[in-house]
Amino acid sequence: MSQQYPGPQQPPHHPAPQTGPWGPQPPKKRLSTGAIVGLSIGGVFAFLVILGAAVGESKQDDGKPTAKEVPAAPSTPAPTTSPAPTTAPAAPATAAPSKKPETGRLPNFVGKGLQFAQDEAQSLGFYGLRSHDALGRDRHQVLDRNWKVCSQTPAPGTHGTDVVIDFGTVKLEEDCPAKDVAAQPETEAGGTMPDFRGKSVNVARSALPDNASITVTDASQGRMVLMESNWKVCTQTPAPGTRIDGRPVTFEAVKFEETCP
């Protein structure tokens, strides 16, 4: 028999260690059997915990209220009855007592300044005051201190304080007339032409209808008639008593201190 001689035995092959940028890497560690068993038991325990939570939620969602969700029994409010309406008897209507108007003593203001007369009357409780031109020229009492009282209505005496007092006045340099000449009331359209001779042009214009055509000229010197209350009528056309039918009206006038030609 031939014997075989073993040849030269080769050394066992060991893989070369892996190298990295910082040198050879350490060999990977293998988990031991005990660690693998522990991890398996932990996973099973976690699965059981999750499964139990899911089962509990499904029980709560089956429509049955839990202990915390049981609502309290609703309370039934007691029926309430509203009291029967009561109607109080109406008190008998009584008429309010009429208040008697106050009265005062009205002095005589004739010959006094218009401003003084007005102030004094107001201090006594008389507040209804007015004044007019006693010469019938329809002038306005713009500055009361420049006018004086020639007449008053009502007369001096005891009167209710709600009475209206009317003072007939002239300017300080003028004389009071023997008779208070009130401005002539306005003539209605379609009436007759009044006699305006000797009266203020301002009064004549106010007495005629608003749509009347009026021309005023100076009867003596051809001046312009500006302040009509200072001028008096000398002639007029149409004549007094003529029917007012829309015909133009013409006045010739002079100042009051002058004589008509």
Distance CA 203, CA 183 (A): 6
DSSP codes, 47-105: HHHHHHHHHHHHHHTSS---TTT-PPPPPPPPP--PPPP--PPPPPP-PPPPPPPPEEE
Which pLDDT score is estimated for 38?
Answer: 59
Distance CA 189, CA 249 (A): 13
Which of the residues in the chain have pLDDT under 50? Answer: 1-5, 58-70
Which pLDDT score is estimated for 191?
Answer: 87
Residue pLDDT, tens place only, 161-173: 999 999 999 999 9
Which pLDDT score is estimated for 242?
Answer: 92
First to last CA, the chain: 199
Helix, strand, coil content of the chain in percent (nearest 5): 20, 20, 60
Which amino acid, residue 260?
C
Helices within the chain (DSSP H only)? 33-60, 114-123, 201-207
Residue pLDDT, tens place only, 66-116: 444 445 555 555 555 555 555 555 656 665 656 666 999 999 999 999 999
Q: For residues 187 and 244, is the Cβ–Cβ distance under 8 A? A: yes
Backbone CA torsion sign across 235, 237, 239, 240: negative
Residues in Cβ contact with 151 at an 8 Å cutoff, skipping those fewer than 6 apart:
110, 134, 167, 168, 176, 180
The pTM assigned to this predicted structure is: 0.55
Residues in Cβ contact with 235 at an 8 Å cutoff, skipping those fewer than 6 apart:
197, 219, 251, 252, 260
Set out the domains of the chain in order of their start, with CATH numbers: 103-171 (3.30.10.20), 201-255 (no CATH)
User: Quick one: tokens of 198?
Assistant: 């000797």
